[in-house]
Amino acid sequence: MYNIGVDLGGTNIAAGVVDETGQILLKSSISTRPERDYHEIIHDMAVLIYGLIDEGGYKLADIASIGIGCPGAVDKKRGKVIFASNLFWYHVPIQALLQDYLNLPVYLENDATVAGSAEYLFGACQGTENAITLTLGTGVGSGMILNGQLYSGSHGAGAHLGHMIVELDGIPCACGNKGCWEQYVSATALVREGQKAVKESPESLIANLAGHDFRKVTAKMVLDAAKEKDPAAVMIFERYIRYLAMGMITIINAFDPEVIAIGGGVSHAGDFLLQPLCEEVEKHIIYKDVAHARICLAQLGNDAGIIGAAMLGRINR
Amino acid sequence: MYNIGVDLGGTNIAAGVVDETGQILLKSSISTRPERDYHEIIHDMAVLIYGLIDEGGYKLADIASIGIGCPGAVDKKRGKVIFASNLFWYHVPIQALLQDYLNLPVYLENDATVAGSAEYLFGACQGTENAITLTLGTGVGSGMILNGQLYSGSHGAGAHLGHMIVELDGIPCACGNKGCWEQYVSATALVREGQKAVKESPESLIANLAGHDFRKVTAKMVLDAAKEKDPAAVMIFERYIRYLAMGMITIINAFDPEVIAIGGGVSHAGDFLLQPLCEEVEKHIIYKDVAHARICLAQLGNDAGIIGAAMLGRINR
């Protein structure tokens, strides 16, 4: 028996057939085009799933369940996406609608939570009881395993560490609050600060890499310029590391996990990110002679979403 | 069979005989005098426990276990207090030392964690799966129930929400970091700001209540003066509520609990605290139409420490 995992994003819907060892045997994806009616999107999701089953030569009876990693707030008991801003979805009964096409158990969970689950089962957080996976991308996602179980709170709105408030009256966030952590440590934050540098320091390497067009700045450009010791980029990067460490310390003090795994676009910087981060965190550990969380890179990349979603059928009661 | 709970504090050691319904049948306490050698303190703890057994007319066979709520970092598997600053303890094998006097199972856990457990079993957090109890006192303690289980992290150093960092380079904290939440929302924070007011606004009601001696300022004086609309006190209180709400929002976004119960000295302000706090939190809820944590007062007061510690023997495997 296999499980199918679906990673439902604002840009693409990716799905894969996953075996019990977490291997993706076959995967495929389509554009989400979220401006459409959600009935159309869920129809296309069913077509995508049937396509995988056909292409792999499976029978429907070979598939034990479908799991979906959804953005936003999820009511997993009632099978609904409560609210997902990047899909323009609001109380969408995705479980029932998908089951109209496919007579299989369908499980829902937050997308960052399933990515954390995948890292726990098959990636960087294996063998731990308490682990947090952070995704530093457009926003900051988080998936938590606590006491050996997936944790996503009481109302499907939890485990959003990107929305810890790290500065009273700080930088405005799309969520409506100010000073959310993701405004300081997402890839988007690096882009925003890089854009400022292009405008304010036209001599900077960032401006050069972006062809002096602030709209072309990427997080990678800022990181690459920092590697080259470009002063403007180094300033941005040092501030970035301070805020990243500040949140890590809060996570360590609040959760005391064994591992904090970092994924998402920014994590591609690898040791260039990890080394100063770990040094900065180390300075702020309260109990210096007690072991504390190991900070490392996530291992499954973008596949974590599909794998974790597929596994919902195996770990759900 | 009964359980004995011990609340080990820097000032007093309180212990009680607790039945399976969470009722304290008999309790007693002694001064800790933490300047002494820990062997003496643990000896006195054993005498306190034997005193309770004698006084209540119990036999040792009536007592199923001893549970101890300890300050600081606890290695519950090895039965040690790793570090407790207010006791000057450092790697103290309290479990083994107490068992030299008492041949009973001895369980350890962090003091704020057991208080949270008591509120979950018998107080404000009953019937929930995910609940956080905050103690706003000298510092800020936190006890967490997540997925229906006590949560205290991987290294005995976790669940310290008072040490979430809410301001980069903020107010220095005794833990060595800057900007810890407890520097803004503990009773001690109210005292510190009240003392400033006595010096800077000698006409304020706070100064009056303290007899113009800044050393006499208490948190209650600041709160009482705020109730009387004293301008200096109102300013302190409004800032206090803003930081308290800021941390609550972080807790809601990170944990999405069903209940956040507030105990400790500051909680005696009751509705005067709760009402503006809930209003301020409400403004910052991300998913306005999704249910979110109920914020309420803890119910068990100082007894929570004894009750929760006693129950360690019932909930431990």
Encode pLDDT of A166-175 as tens digits.
999 999 998 8
Give this complex's ipTM.
Answer: 0.92
pLDDT of residue A317: 42
Residue A158 pLDDT exceeds 70: no
Q: How far is CA B151 from the centre of its chain?
A: 15
Q: What distance, in Å, lies between the first and last C-alpha atoms of chain B?
A: 17
Angle at A139 between CA A137 and CA A145, to 5 degrees: 85
Q: What is the pLDDT of residues A93-124, one digit of tens each?
A: 999 999 999 999 999 999 999 999 999 999 99
- Contacting residues of B for A83, CB less than 8 Å apart: 287, 289-290
| Rounded CA separation A137/A267 (Å) | 9
| Rounded CA separation B13/A317 (Å) | 43
Residue contact B287–A83, C-beta within 8 A:
yes
Tell me whether A315 touches chain B (CB under 8 Å): no
Give burial (CB, 10 Å; 0-12/13-18/19+) of B217. buried
Residue contact A83–B290, C-beta within 8 A:
yes
Give yes or no for a contact between B281 and B249, defined as CB atoms under 8 angstroms apart: yes
pLDDT of residue A34: 93
Query: Which has more confidence, A142 or A84?
Result: A142
- Average pLDDT estimate for A192-219: 97
Q: What is the pLDDT of residues A4-20, one digit of tens each?
A: 999 999 899 999 999 99
**Contacts A–B by Cβ distance under 8 A:** 170
Q: Which structure tokens are listed for B231? A: 């301008």
Q: Which 3-state string (H, E, C) describes chain A?
A: CEEEEEEECCCEEEEEEECCCCCEEEEEEEECCCCCCHHHHHHHHHHHHHHHHHHCCCCHHHEEEEEEEECCEEECCCCEEEEEHHHCEEEECHHHHHHCCCCCCEEEEEHHHHHHHHHHHHCCCCCCCCEEEEEECCCEEEEEEECCEEECCCCCCCCCHHHCECCCCCCECCCCCECECHHHHCHHHHHHHHHHHHHHCCCCHHHHHCCCCHHHCCHHHHHHHHHCCCHHHHHHHHHHHHHHHHHHHHHHHHHCCCEEEEECHHHHHCHHHHHHHHHHHHHCCCCCCCCCCEEEECCCCCHHHHHHHHHHHHHCC
pLDDT of residue B158: 64
Residue B276 contacts by C-beta under 8 Å, 6 or more apart in sequence?
A: B238, B241
Tell me whether A272 touches chain B (CB under 8 Å): no
| Rounded CA separation A130/A147 (Å) | 6
- Contacting residues of B for A76, CB less than 8 Å apart: none
Residue contact B168–A242, C-beta within 8 A:
yes
Residue of chain B whose alpha carbon sits nearest to that of A130: B154
Tell me whether A317 touches chain B (CB under 8 Å): no
Residue contact B290–A156, C-beta within 8 A:
yes
Residue contact A164–B250, C-beta within 8 A:
yes
Residue B297 C-alpha, separation from nearest chain A C-alpha, in angstroms: 19
From the list B101, B137, B181, B126, the residue with the least C-alpha distance to B9 is: B137
Mean pLDDT of chain A: 95
| Rounded CA separation B141/B133 (Å) | 8
Per-residue pLDDT of chain B (317 residues; tens, 9 = 90+): 999 999 999 899 999 999 999 999 999 999 999 999 999 999 999 999 999 999 999 999 999 999 999 988 899 999 999 988 889 899 999 999 999 999 999 999 999 999 999 999 999 999 999 999 999 998 999 999 999 999 989 988 768 999 999 999 999 998 899 999 999 999 999 999 999 999 999 999 999 999 999 999 999 999 999 999 999 999 999 999 999 999 999 999 999 999 999 999 999 999 999 999 999 999 999 888 788 999 999 999 999 999 999 999 998 54
Q: pLDDT band at A273, cuts 50/70/90?
A: very high
Residue contact B290–A176, C-beta within 8 A:
no
Tell me whether B2 touches chain A (CB under 8 Å): no
pLDDT of residue B315: 83
Tell me whether A171 touches chain B (CB under 8 Å): no
β-bridge pairing A259-263 and A294-297: parallel
The neighbour count for residue B101, using CB atoms within 10 Å, is 14
Tell me whether A257 touches chain B (CB under 8 Å): yes
Tell me whether B286 touches chain A (CB under 8 Å): yes
Residue A316 pLDDT exceeds 60: no
